[in-house]
Structure 1
Amino acid sequence: MLRDPDLLGRLLDSFVTAQIRAELVVSDFGPRLFHLRQADGRREVDLVVEFADGRLVAIEVKAAAAPDTAEPRHLVWLRDQLGPRMVAGLVLHGGPHAYPLAERVYAAPICSLWTA
């Protein structure tokens, strides 16, 4: 499994989605969770969290330890389409550090889901 990056990526996506979904179920903010894929398959965003007030946070999950500025291209596209309605894009990754990738788009470790 660890030698098949495609399988590892899908497993990691599923794991992170399950963790985020569990958090949203108990949230007081009334968020809804979506997956976005264009009909032609050119762009895809792993998770889109929509809050009751219409604001969105878009999330990509990557196994890489240090995503570079090319990783969030679909998040940047979505941010540009939605404007201020998309308050943040987040690339959750396998590394230890959080850092900005683009305007309102950030990289953060997957383990940050369990830290305060």
Structure 2
Amino acid sequence: MRYYLIDEISPSDMEKIDEFLKKNAIRSEMEKVFWVRIPKELLGDIQYQHRECHPHLFSIELGTNQLKVEFFIRNLNHLNCTCQSYCTLEQRDFILNFSQKMIEELGIRT
């Protein structure tokens, strides 16, 4: 799996990240895993055409002192659909910008 890893995060900063994601992402059924929607204007052709698969998302998983942001775009409706794939360059930029903005907004130090 390809992902962006931010580690060496203090416990108090991990709590801030957890609270931020509870407000700004979709909680998954798995504890400490969150889903973030990819904006419709950034969807690839196949993703856009597969309306029954919307929304398309990326995951953020919180560890003890790290967060892992996956570059795989998936949907929660059809787990084996062809519209799931690694992110495009535009989607990657969105993922990295979301992560960086969160870190800056919360004043996280790593």
Q: TM-score, normalised by structure 1?
A: 0.33
Q: TM-score, normalised by structure 2?
A: 0.34
Q: Which has the higher contact order (CA 8 A, sep 6+)?
A: 2
**Higher helix fraction (1 or 2):** 2
**Higher strand fraction (1 or 2):** 1
